[in-house]
A = this chain, B = another copy of it.
Amino acid sequence: MTDALQPERLARAALSRLGEPGDLRMTGLVHDLGAMRVHEHLSGERDLRGVLTDIAARLASLDPVRDLESADRLGIRFVIPGDPEWPAQVDDLTHALPVQERGGMPLGLWVRGPLRIDQHRDAVAIVGSRSATTYGEGVASRLAADLAQHGVTIVSGAAFGIDKAAHRGALGGGGATVAVLACGVDRVYPLAHKALLDHLADHGAVVSELPPGSAPTRARFLARNRLIAALTRGTIVVEAAVRSGALNTANWADRLSRPLMAVPGPVTSAQSAGVHQLVRAGSAQLVTSGADAREILGVAGTHLLVEPRAVQRPRDKLRPRDARVLEAVPVSRPAEVESIARTAGLGLIEVQSALVRLAREEFVVRVPSGWQLGEAARV
């Protein structure tokens, strides 16, 4: 590791072991003074605004050089601002309002996997409930597959439920997919997802602002959520109960002024209640398909929406006069031609010949007591 940013990288690697991710004191200081000056101050055990002395002592025991070397041996790189691989969209976190007293830029991103994380400005986050339903998992997977097929990188966590379904869908769609963790990228959480995480490390990317070895905590999940929103161009919530963590990611997308999208579900499902709440509150736009999401995100020129249309029915092809006569045929029982003519407000002869034409295509059928609707009219 002999690059121009080496001193900066060492400072950031060290600091990333000190504070909690998204701790506003740390991210604020680094923003104001720069990582190296903060590191220098703390190493000198000088007090900084009276808040950091408690952690300064720990700095002595750290060895960022060894840290970066052992990460390297594990195939993990530490990407920091200024690096060519730094994803510029993450910088937006500098100006986003904190959520639950967390916020600000990550000190750096620890990355495992072949995917360069700076090349996914079109990435989309798909997040949702861990205890998703079969419906939710199916929808998340199909959404991710559709987006992946259109060149959109999928970003999510690595949890059960929607996260996993999203990655699976993206992989199935032959696309790129990124997992952002609330623990070190060398750790496996949940354990059941070892194969998934290994696969992503081999073919996609596993990302965290926590240094290798760090354990997941609730607070770290909340801080992690801002990265999922920041790395992507928009966030889709697939299933979320009323107090789901996915709503925290949604909140971050909102703070970052990125489109927030929500997939509806049955109103009888608790796993959709939080999603519906987002739509009702006007925070999220309802999406029902990858096409909907691509339109909102303006992916690849698809944003001029073609409204979903029902299949053309045979009756759509009728000439207007015939359509008018057809509309005048009672739906319940046969009618005489005079009565159909009266209803249609057309002449008798005209109606008679329209009926004959309509009968030819089975829109109407002649029966002893007049005319009734035929097979084709019921489609």
The main secondary structure of chain A at its interface with chain B is loop
Contact with B along A249-269 (1 / 0, CB 8 A): 000000001111001111110
Chain B: CB-nearest residue to A349: B305
CB-defined contacts of A333 to chain B, threshold 8 Å: 215
Q: How far is the CA of A285 from the CA of B320 in the complex (A)?
A: 11
Q: A332 contacts which of B189, B259, B288, B308 (Cβ < 8 Å)?
A: B189
Chain B: CB-nearest residue to A238: B267
Q: How far is the CA of A218 from the CA of B243 in the complex (A)?
A: 46
Cβ-defined contact, A343 with B285, below 8 A: no
- The minimal Cβ–Cβ distance linking A264 to chain B, given in whole angstroms, is 3
- The minimal Cβ–Cβ distance linking A194 to chain B, given in whole angstroms, is 12
Q: How far is the CA of A346 from the CA of B55 in the complex (A)?
A: 10
Cβ-defined contact, A258 with B345, below 8 A: yes
Stretch with Cβ within 8 A of B (4 or more), from A1-9, A35-43, A166-174, A323-331: A323-331
A118 adjacent to chain B (CB < 8 Å): no
Stretch with Cβ within 8 A of B (4 or more), from A106-114, A120-128, A195-203, A276-284: A276-284
Cβ-defined contact, B345 with A23, below 8 A: yes
Contact with B along A4-21 (1 / 0, CB 8 A): 000000000000000110
Cβ-defined contact, B139 with A277, below 8 A: no
Cβ-defined contact, A347 with B305, below 8 A: yes
Cβ-defined contact, A310 with B242, below 8 A: yes
Q: How far is the CA of A285 from the CA of B345 in the complex (A)?
A: 10
Q: How far is the CA of A307 from the CA of B247 in the complex (A)?
A: 15
CB-defined contacts of A267 to chain B, threshold 8 Å: 139, 263-265, 288-289
Cβ-defined contact, B276 with A280, below 8 A: no
Cβ-defined contact, B292 with A331, below 8 A: no
Cβ-defined contact, A276 with B303, below 8 A: no
- How many chain-A residues does the 8 Å CB contact rule pick out? 76
Q: Which A residues between 316 and 341 are near B, CB-CB below 8 angstroms?
A: 320-321, 323-324, 326-333, 335, 339
Chain B: CB-nearest residue to A260: B345
Q: Which A residues between 171 and 205 are near B, CB-CB below 8 angstroms?
A: 183, 187, 189-191
Cβ-defined contact, A331 with B217, below 8 A: yes
Q: A342 contacts which of B23, B58, B331 (Cβ < 8 Å)?
A: B58
Cβ-defined contact, B343 with A217, below 8 A: yes
Cβ-defined contact, A217 with B329, below 8 A: yes
CB-defined contacts of A191 to chain B, threshold 8 Å: 332
Cβ-defined contact, B330 with A216, below 8 A: yes
Cβ-defined contact, B218 with A303, below 8 A: no
- The minimal Cβ–Cβ distance linking A183 to chain B, given in whole angstroms, is 7
Q: How far is the CA of A287 from the CA of B259 in the complex (A)?
A: 22
Cβ-defined contact, B20 with A348, below 8 A: no
- The minimal Cβ–Cβ distance linking A78 to chain B, given in whole angstroms, is 20
- Check A257/B345 contact, CB under 8 A, given A267-B288, A286-B286, A288-B273: yes
CB-defined contacts of A55 to chain B, threshold 8 Å: 345
Chain B: CB-nearest residue to A183: B332
Q: How far is the CA of A320 from the CA of B321 in the complex (A)?
A: 37
Cβ-defined contact, A282 with B218, below 8 A: no
CB-defined contacts of A279 to chain B, threshold 8 Å: 264, 279, 286
Cβ-defined contact, A332 with B215, below 8 A: yes
Cβ-defined contact, B349 with A304, below 8 A: yes
CB-defined contacts of A288 to chain B, threshold 8 Å: 267, 273, 276, 280
A138 adjacent to chain B (CB < 8 Å): yes
Q: How far is the CA of A130 from the CA of B311 in the complex (A)?
A: 18
A241 adjacent to chain B (CB < 8 Å): yes
A296 adjacent to chain B (CB < 8 Å): yes
- Check A282/B323 contact, CB under 8 A, given A241-B310, A289-B267: yes
